[in-house]
Structure 1
Amino acid sequence: MPEASGPLLASPPTHTDVLAAEGGALSGVENAINTVFEPISDGFSNLVFGELTIFGITFPWIVAWLVIAAVVFTVAFGFIQFRSVGLSVALLRGKYSRPDDPGEITHFQALSSAVSATVGLGNIAGVGVAVTVGGAGATFWMIVCGLLGMCTKFVECTLGVKYREIHEDGTVSGGPMQYLRKGIAERFPGSFGAGLGKVLAVLAAIMILFFGIAGGNMFQANQTFAQLRNVTGGEEGYLASDGAALIFGLVLAGLIGMVIIGGIKSIGAVTSKLVPTMGIVYVLACLIVIGVNITAVPAAFGEIIRGAFTPAAGFGGAIGVLIIGFQRAAFSNEAGLGSAPIAHSAVKTRHPVTEGFVALLEPFIDTVIVCTMTALTIVISRTDFWVNAQQQVINGGETPDGVTVTSEAFGTVLPWFPYVLTLAVALFAVSTIITWGYYGQRAWLFLFGKSRANEIIYNVIFCTCTVIGSVLTLTSVLNFADAVLFALALFNIIGLYLLLPVVKRELKSFREKLRTGEMAQVEEPTKVS
């Protein structure tokens, strides 16, 4: 995703920028599309990312919507994310799983599939922006938001499994399309509940489909090629020719196609290996930088704590830093957006709440671990680039490229790491494309009906857009896709509030089975044709 969700960040000049400068033929096509789409994009983006002002600090209302929901759910479930870590890990390891449990993938594969869609450029570039604009103190509030978001994931992923549909061929359809439609109709019998649920479900499916094709696919392909082009010599490098982007797009589309055609089982098999490998390499690099500067760690933590409550005036005060931290965390871990339940719904389990427990680990991995490691690396390294960038922001200048802030920090200890970072960005992007390919497919089939023909049509469209994304940037389309994804949070969280009693019943039932040692087999979800 753009940064694993959120407004587009500043990035290095892409191959399309070069084509435009040289009067390339493709720039005319891109400009025409952007010209037509720009008014739509600007209008919708201004609505979704419209700002509120509190104590002189402005921030997108959608961030408040996400954070308030996380706080409400955390209180409603008695801070369950802090009391159930041991149980979550046990479930992740398969302690209560059985081979004949209904579903397609294991708890671990479901978690890795969902994490692959969130861990990405946002953890690298987004954090770089956060600690530049908000100072070190923004890290503290990112952690707080990540911890609160764990409970939102618990709620939405429990509902994802509760209302999933298992088809005759064994495949699973789940996510906000199902629990908004079926759950609300069940909670509020009658035409009102059925109508409201159906409207929310259709809107959710449209949002997911559009972002899956544009933001989760085209932008990722574009930025992956841009990073590879930059690291191989830029305008004078191996990938400077016009045809390089097309060839790259075709190869990438072929690889993506082979994975998504296999469905969630294939995606789970790939991401369960790719995501841990990427995460371990990246976190190890962070630990190396931190280890070399180990004596600076106490001071760095002190700066993070002090900056969270007594930030420099140039960062807009404590409320300003809090908002920056919350915004970057919400845009990174997707808690409340309704996307993750699509992957988690395919898990092998008879007890919906078990996947809620597993899913709550997702924001912890994405935000509390990966984002914090990135932030700590930047703060400890304290490069001249970062210090100058902060001063530039204070003076009203432009926010620098977040990837560069992070890359410079690694470069203080590992001069060659920018090349590894480029590979990491590429792998993060590929894993994001794969998972959002599945998310979009579920939305497509919900809207147009489940059939083999519809699956093939979607896969062809998705892979074609991978090629288009490699060649064209289509900035207005991608900005619109970001707004679409976060509009999904509006509909999804309304549903989560309405279905909160359902989650509480599921939790009570599961805890009773744990207490008595039953874990008796429950009735399988109704199979649908």
Structure 2
Amino acid sequence: MDSIQELISDFASAMWGLPLIILLIGGGIYLLILSKFLPFRYLGHSIDLLRGKFNNPDDPGEINHFQALSTALSSTVGMGNIAGVAVAITLGGPGAIFWLWLSAIVGMGTKFFTNTLAVMYRGKDSEGKIQGGVMYFIEVGLGKKWKFLAVIFSLAGLIGALPVFNVNQLTQAINYILLEPNNIETGFMTNLTIGIVFVILTSVVILGGLQRISKTVSKLVPAMVALYFISVLAIIAINFEVVPTYFKMIFTDAFAAENYKGDPMFGGLLGGLIILGIRRGAFSNEAGIGTATMAHGASKTSEPVREGLVAMLGPAIDTLVVCTLTALSILVTGIWKTTDANGVSLTAAAFESAIPYVGDYLLLLCISAFSISSLFSFSYYGTKCLSYLAGATYKHYYNYVYIISILIGATTSLSAMINLIDGFFALMAIPTMIATLILAPKVMVEARRYFKKYSDK
């Protein structure tokens, strides 16, 4: 097992090298400049779209803008915001959050382009149904000669969409918060039992298809974000006097790297810190990875730019708001300096420190909703990838593999699970960003047409 974990770790480190950072961040900056920072200039219009102001039930697609964003957010607003941020602070200290922010700001531009393309170049599966996603906009937008990139994305997506990290961290939270304090022995059998419960719960929803998934998560996502928001604001208010100190430290430590404990990269600790922040940012909001294109590509709209504008709100909500709140709740309590806890256990320790007796139980309630909603959405992404590779008649078989993987996630170590998903996310990002950069000028042609039409009204 140790050899397998080391192999997975080496794989993730190799994938997250300088070429991928240049592709994700450099490519994202190029897209922002190309669009003249369009995503930020039309935030108000994005919110109007999300509110349903321009919804047309006769447009092609399966779900409305709000349901598409909710489905995409349910897969990103989750353990990446709670456990992922905690991992970043454990290894990198406050400075890691700055680089996580940078990935989100750049990611808003990337999301606009990738999800506009997901609607511009929708394809059809083997049953003749309209489908959206990176694999389809590569094949339809770039042509058959680029299909190998679509295949790479879909193969990586089969692993990248597995729920192993979310399940691992939810299992750890149940053990740390609920079972161990009550002197209930934890171990393999306990974890397996928890995994079986998740299997039953997930099976009921995911076998119902996209409509059931989108309806479930469109109710869960706003509620779980609101509950978490209130809880974290309470922790920040309790420790308000030290908030300015730690907020400043996020900026100063971003370049000093004084709290970074990982391996040096690009010749120094700062390089390692930058990689850490960007990896955790990509895991949190998946900008440039491409999974969300499969949800947004199913949106009921005849205007591709509208879906791009809605999708770009994802990194703002997910990373700039939710991740920042998590980071501050951990930092202001000072618990990150005094405990060896990692992942969700560190966040739980911060909640318990600030709100004794009920804080960690409140966190458990939030992360249960986060994780379970993520389980629903990622299954949809995996079935889309299998449908593209093998045909729509076989897509339901992915759900059975997905369900088995829940048991693996519940009974395996944190480092193995996070490195596994990181590595395959990197593999998904390569075809996503290459295709997006090539097709970006066509997005701008469509954007100019749309905004001319919109401004004339």
Is the structural similarity TM-score above 0.5?
Answer: yes
Asked if 1:410 is matched to 2:351, the reply is yes
Instruction: Give the match's secondary structure for 1:336.
Output: coil
Map of 1:148 onto structure 2: 106
Alignment of 1:119-268 (within 5 A): 119-165=77-123, 172-185=130-143, 194-195=144-145, 197-212=146-161, 216-234=162-180, 237-238=183-184, 240=186, 244-268=190-214
Offset at residue 338 of structure 1 (A): 1.0
Letter of the 2:325 partner, please give it: M
Q: 1:484 is matched with which residue: 408, 424, 430?
A: 424
1:119, 1:62 → 2: CA distance?
Answer: 23
1:291 to 221, 237, 246: 237
Q: 2:60 aligns with which of 68, 77, 102?
A: 102
Aligned partner letter, 2:305: V
2:436 to 496, 499, 503: 496
Q: Give the aligned partner of residue 369 of structure 1.
A: 321
CA distance 1:289–1:502, shift in 2 (3 Å) = same
Deviation, structure 1 residue 478:
6.8
1:304-333 CA distance string (max 9 Å, x none): 344345564878776665554334323321
How is 1:83-98 mapped onto 2 (pairs within 5 angstroms)? 83-98=41-56
Shift of 1:131: 3.5
Distance 1:171 1:272, change over 3 A: farther
Q: By how many angstroms is 1:455 displaced?
A: 3.5
Three-state SS of the structure 1 residue aligned to 2:426 is helix
Please, which of 268, 272, 278 is the counterpart of residue 224 of structure 2? 278
Partner Cα distance (1:319, 1:254) in 2: 43
For the Cα contact (< 8 Å) 1:175–1:345, is it kept in 2? Answer: yes
Alpha-carbon distance between aligned partners in 2 of 1:314 and 1:267, rounded to the nearest angstrom? 39
Partner of 1:442: 384
Q: Check conservation: 1:219, 1:473, Cα contact below 8 A.
A: no
Q: Where does structure 1 lack aligned partners over 5 or more consecutive residues?
A: 1-30, 53-60, 186-193, 390-398, 518-529
Change (3 A) 1:222 1:413: closer
Q: Distance in 2 between matches of 1:319 and 1:121?
A: 25
1:510-529 alignment to 2 at 5 Å?
510-517=450-457
Structure 2 SS opposite 1:126? helix
CA 1:181–1:410 in 2, change beyond 3 Å: closer, same or farther? same
Number of the residue aligned with 2:400: 460
Following the alignment from structure 2 to structure 1, what is the Cα–Cα distance between the partners of residues 271 and 126?
52
CA distance in 2, matches of 1:140, 1:226: 27
> Contact (CA 8 Å) 1:63, 1:330: kept in 2 or not?
no
Tell me whether 1:49 sits opposite 2:16 in the alignment.
Answer: yes
Higher-Rg member (1/2): 1
Q: Which moved more, 1:301-310 or 1:154-163?
A: 301-310
Q: 1:231 to 1:378 in 2, by over 3 A?
A: closer
- Unaligned residue ranges in structure 2 (runs of 5+): 262-267
Structure 2 residue identity aligned to 1:210: I
Q: Tell me the SS of whatever aligns to 2:101.
A: helix
Q: What TM-score comes out, normalization by structure 2 length?
A: 0.88
What residue number does 2:264 align with?
Answer: none
2:193 & 2:349 partners in 1: Cα distance? 31
Q: By how many angstroms is 1:98 displaced?
A: 1.0
Q: Percent identity?
A: 36
The within-5 A match list for 1:14-33 is: 31=1
Distance 2:344 2:279 in 1: 18
Q: CA deviation at 1:434?
A: 1.2
Alpha-carbon contact 1:176-1:342 (below 8 Å) kept: yes
Aligned partner of residue 232 in structure 1, secondary structure: helix
Q: Secondary structure at the match of 1:78?
A: coil
**Aligned residues of 1:125 and 1:406 also touching (Cα < 8 A):** yes
Q: Distance in 1 between matches of 2:407 and 2:129?
A: 28
Distance in 2 between the 1:306 and 1:244 partners? 43
Measured in 2, the distance between the counterparts of 1:93 and 1:270 equals 18
Deviation at 1:163, TM superposition (A): 1.5
Which one-letter code corresponds to 1:233 in the other structure?
L
Q: Describe the superposition over 1:347-394 as per-residue Cα deviations: whole angstroms up to 9, x where unpaired.
A: 11010110100000000011100111112223332x2x32346xxxxx
SS of the residue corresponding to residue 55 of structure 2 reads coil
Q: 2:265 — aligned with what?
A: none
Alignment partners' CA distance in 2, 1:270 and 1:490 = 31
Tell me the secondary structure at the aligned position of residue 57 of structure 2.
Answer: coil
1:460 to partner: Cα distance: 2.7
Instruction: Give distance in 2, aligned partners of 1:379 and 1:80.
Output: 34
Q: Does 349-358 or 225-234 show the bigger shift?
A: 225-234
Assess if the C-alpha contact under 8 Å between 1:102 and 1:349 holds in 2: yes
SS in 2 for 1:401: coil
The equivalent of 1:307 in structure 2 is 253
Q: Is the 8 A contact 1:157 1:344 kept in 2?
A: yes
In structure 2, relative to structure 1, the CA distance for the partners of 1:237 and 1:310 (3 Å cut) is: closer
Distance 2:348 2:163 in 1: 24
Residue identity opposite 1:111 in structure 2: L
- What is the total number of aligned residue pairs between the two structures? 450
2:342 is aligned to: 401
